Amino acid sequence: MTLKTIIKLIENELLPNINLKSIKPNDPIIVSNVPNQWKVLGSGNYAAVLYNSNFPYYAVKIYAENRPGIDKEIEVYNKLGYHPSYSQCFYHDKNYLILRRLDGITLYDAIVKGIQIPESVISDIDKALDYAITRNLYPHDVHFKNVMMKDGKGFVVDVSDFYKYEKCLLWAHSKKAYNKIYKNILYKLHPPIPNFILNIIRKIYQLYKR
Ligand SMILES: Nc1ncnc2c1ncn2[C@@H]1O[C@H](COP(=O)(O)OP(=O)(O)O)[C@@H](O)[C@H]1O
Ligand SMILES: [Mg+2]
């Protein structure tokens, strides 16, 4: 019942109004023209994710025009099945998915806001990635904007690249940053770190990867 209602709202209210702009392929999608009752949960380089305040259980992931990958993401969710550290896909159409909304904040936002990231979050994510491997998937593109935490628990929000059979060191590098820099220097005081500094680090990392 509610799923049908939210599909109608997406088709009749959200999609005809929302504007998604992909300015550079390596930068997040810019979202504008968000109708009343809808709130942006976040955006990545492919898609924007929103929820409707009357249906907070669902998150709608809308792919920007010309950004590929939605079919693969659906396939990944089918393979994953249910696991408490992942979302689920309830419905999909040409350019959007209806997912279970994960409560909490990304580890990236936790660093920006100065909220402490406990080690249990990191170990939950490790376990979730091991689980994905048992489902014949390959953890990929797991970094601080693609993982979330709530009440000391860790979640993986973005599985869109888990079908790619190629080595990805992002989570290994993110964990190294957590163990070497975060735990030793930031853990106790966890001061807020401005977005622009994290953006500089992100850009340096992108250069270093090339
Ligand atoms: N199921 C979800 N529940 C809550 N927030 C989500 C969910 N999925 C994504 N988000 C938020 O939206 C952002 C972008 O989603 P993501 O799947 O990473 O898009 P992209 O594939 O473009 O990188 C995430 O960083 C996160 O903040
Ligand atoms: Mg992402």
Helices 119-134 and 170-177 pack at an angle, to 10 degrees, of 160
- Give me the pLDDT at residue 210, please: 79
Length of the chain: 210
| Mutational test site, ligand 1, from 21, 29, 43, 99, max ligand atoms within 8 Å of CB | 43
Q: Is the pLDDT of residue 25 over 90?
A: no
Q: Is the pLDDT of residue 1 over 70?
A: no
Percentage of the chain lying above the pLDDT 70 cut? 100
| Mutational test site, ligand 1, from 38, 61, 101, max ligand atoms within 8 Å of CB | 61
Closest CA to 47 of 74, 34, 28, 33: 28
The average pLDDT across 175-204 equals 94
Question: pLDDT (tens digit, 9 = 90+) per residue, 129-151?
Answer: 999 999 999 999 999 999 999 99
The average pLDDT across 91-115 equals 97
| Minimum-distance ligand 1 atom for the alpha carbon of 100 | 1
Domain ranges for the chain:
2-100, 105-209
CATH number for 2-100 (one of 3.10.450, 3.40.50, 3.30.300, 3.30.200): it is 3.30.200
- Give me the pLDDT at residue 26, please: 86
Task: Look at ligand 1, atom 23, and give the residue with the nearest C-alpha.
Answer: 44
**Average pLDDT value over all residues in the chain:** 96
Task: Read off the pLDDT band of 173 (50, 70, 90).
Answer: very high
Task: Look at ligand 1, atom 17, and give the residue with the nearest C-alpha.
Answer: 158
Sheet of 58-63: strand order equals 38-43, 47-52, 58-63, 96-100, 89-92
Kind plus residue range of the DSSP H or E element containing 134 = helix 119-134
CA atoms within 13 A on the CB side of 74: 15
Task: Look at ligand 1, atom 13, and give the residue with the nearest C-alpha.
Answer: 42
| Minimum-distance ligand 1 atom for the alpha carbon of 141 | 23
Of the ligands numbered here, which is closest to the C-alpha atom of 157? Answer: 1
Closest CA to 83 of 154, 164, 169, 175: 154
Distance from residue 82's CA to the centre of ligand 1 (Å): 18
Distance from residue 60's CA to the centre of ligand 1 (Å): 9
Q: Is the pLDDT of residue 7 over 90?
A: yes
- Give me the pLDDT at residue 144, please: 95
The average pLDDT across 177-184 equals 94
Of the ligands numbered here, which is closest to the C-alpha atom of 20? Answer: 1
Task: Read off the pLDDT band of 91 (50, 70, 90).
Answer: very high
d(CA 189, CA 115): 9
- Give me the pLDDT at residue 141, please: 95
CB 40 within 8 Å of CB 52: no
Distance from residue 145's CA to the centre of ligand 2 (Å): 6
- Give me the pLDDT at residue 8, please: 98
- Give me the pLDDT at residue 208, please: 87
- First vs last C-alpha separation in the chain: 48
The average pLDDT across 176-192 equals 94
d(CA 189, CA 121): 18
